[in-house]
Structure 1
Amino acid sequence: MNLVVQSSEPIAAAHVKPLVALARGGQTHCVDERVLRIADADPAQRPDIEAYCATHALDYAYMPPGQALRDFGLVAMDMDSTLITIECIDEIADFCGLKAEVSAITEASMRGELKNFNESLTARVALLKGLDASALEHVFNERLRLSPGAETMLAAAKAAGLRTLLVSGGFTFFTERLKAQLGLDFTRANTLEIVDGKLTGKVTGEIVNASVKARTVRETCEKLGIPTSRAIALGDGSNDLEMMAEVGLSVAFRAKPVVRAAANVAFNHVGLDGLLRLF
């Protein structure tokens, strides 16, 4: 396998020899100053590589030689804390003075401590009852930011022929605006019920939980005429695990421990454009 080591800063030359030795690898190639590729690396050495990279704030991945981004046909992304830096529901709750309470439920849910996502989401949305819907616009315009490397990653994926899917346990108010802004192909999310300009504290339609996310990935692949093995999924929370298990390459982005442990690749330090440097 190729061992690809990445950093948010230039990789110091002093790291090269220890990494090659730990990887039991062969030829090295500095893709750029922040990326080192080691050929013929032994995946059995993963625990040693994991320990070294964790100590030195490096990200690593074992990748099949010769694999290219264009070998895939779809990149599926979670929204909150993945494509964007915030959890939208937490920021909405801030407008009614309940951010701490809602954030605590969100965190527990994303860590996998709350097994029923539907109940978790329903409880959080109920706390928003009566809030003026203008709060959603404020969150989008004033607080929502793309994660580092997001636009670079999306542009390269599109150039390589991949279609894009934003599939979220969050809300259509945000996914539809991001779809228009970023030129995404497909979106799926929850719809907040709004009556007379105020949130009712309810969502309408089927809740987009872990199994619905996975089903959406499968259905999108069917629509594109590709197997799910030709899809890439990026996520950070436990409700992303099922869709990540469906695909050929799963990437945990600034993710909870349960997600990092299950994913093919974990980016703890680099941006979303780290995906491009794997190939």
Structure 2
Amino acid sequence: MRIRGAVFFDVDGTLVPGISSGQHLADRLGHAELCRDAEARYDDGTLTNQEASVLDARGWATWTPADVHDFLDSLPLVDGIPETLAWCRRHDLVPVLATLAWDAVGAYLCDRFGFARSCGPRLEVIDGRYSGEVAEHLDEHGKRGFARGVAAELGVGLKHCAAVGDSRSDLPLFAEAGLAIAFNATPAAQAAAHTAVTSPDLRAVLPALAAWQSRTAR
């Protein structure tokens, strides 16, 4: 495969509509209200991502990765993910997950759909069970750093990559990507993006990707 660039997809609010993957899992792990409050406080800026992650992680204590994998089978997702990834590959663009969702979520979506890689904060596992502690944090700046690293490994710059996202955590990456697409996004993300798309189907971003790729190929 000749690689022309990458497309970085966010998860929560982008691939997962209406509810975050963290909230979906918290509903099943038994700490829904705690997670909902932590996410709301992150969104309004009164909690950092690290602080919100610490609160959410406590609700994972004693559960196993296998339990979580089973819960992810019912994760709500937008339509058109397989078709969008197939289009990217046909056009020499590597599909990658750049997300602040837990690493278990990214790994699940990579296995299910074939994203090349993913990032995300990592939960501690001891003796096969989650301890309730965060092993490795990741914030919006780390998400951009991950994208920079992937682009460098592919032999391209971020100006040859696109980013598809919806909210606060996407803004640093939007600022450096060659194409930033706000998908079902907040006003702040729309203002920071090159273009905005509203649709229940991820394939709605393909015209913008095609037009951008056509411009960069000249």
Structure 2 length normalisation: TM-score? 0.84
Q: Deviations over 1:138-191 (max 9, x none)?
A: 3212x2133122222111111000012112212222212221222222221222
Coordinate RMSD, CA, aligned: 2.3
SS at match of 1:80: coil
8 Å contact from structure 1 (residues 117, 239) kept in 2: no
CA contact (8 A) 1:74 1:165 kept: yes
Q: How does 1:60-209 map to 2 (within 5 A)?
A: 73-85=5-17, 86-109=19-42, 111-114=43-46, 116-141=48-73, 143-205=74-136, 207-209=137-139
In structure 2, runs of 5+ residues without a counterpart are: 212-218
Q: Supply the distance in 1 between the matched residues of 2:181 and 2:109 (Cα, whole angstroms).
A: 21
Matches of 1:249 and 1:96, distance apart in 2? 37
Q: CA deviation at 1:75?
A: 0.0
Quote the Cα distance in structure 1 between the aligned partners of 2:8 and 2:65: 28
- Select which of 197, 204, 210 maps to 1:274: 204
User: 1:257 corresponds to which residue?
Assistant: 187
Structure 2 distance, partners of 1:270, 1:105, is: 26
Q: Flag the 1:176–1:71 CA change in 2: closer, same or farther, 3 A.
A: closer
CA 1:137–1:227 in structure 2 vs 1: closer, same or farther (change >3 Å)?
closer
Distance, in Å, in 1 between the alignment partners of 2:158 and 2:184 is 24
Where is the strand percentage greater, Structure 1 or Structure 2? Answer: 1
Q: Which has the larger radius of gyration?
A: 1
- Does the C-alpha gap of structure 1 residues 260 and 104 become closer, same or farther in structure 2, counting only changes over 3 Å? farther
> Secondary structure in 2 aligned to 1:252?
strand
Task: Write the distance in 2 (CA, Å) between the matches of 1:171 and 1:177.
Answer: 10
Q: How many residues align?
A: 207
One-letter amino acid of the counterpart of residue 253, structure 1: F
User: Shift in Å at residue 267 of structure 1?
Assistant: 2.0
Distance apart, 1:270 and its partner CA? 5.0
Unpaired stretches in structure 1, ≥5 consecutive residues: 1-69
State the identity %.
24
Q: Equivalents in 2 of 1:153, 1:178: separation in Å?
A: 14
Structure 1 residues 118 and 112: alpha-carbon distance in aligned structure 2, compared to 1, 3 A threshold: same
What is the identity, as a one-letter code, of the residue corresponding to 1:202? E
Aligned to 1:19: none
**Pairing of 1:15-94 with structure 2 (within 5 A):** 73-85=5-17, 86-94=19-27
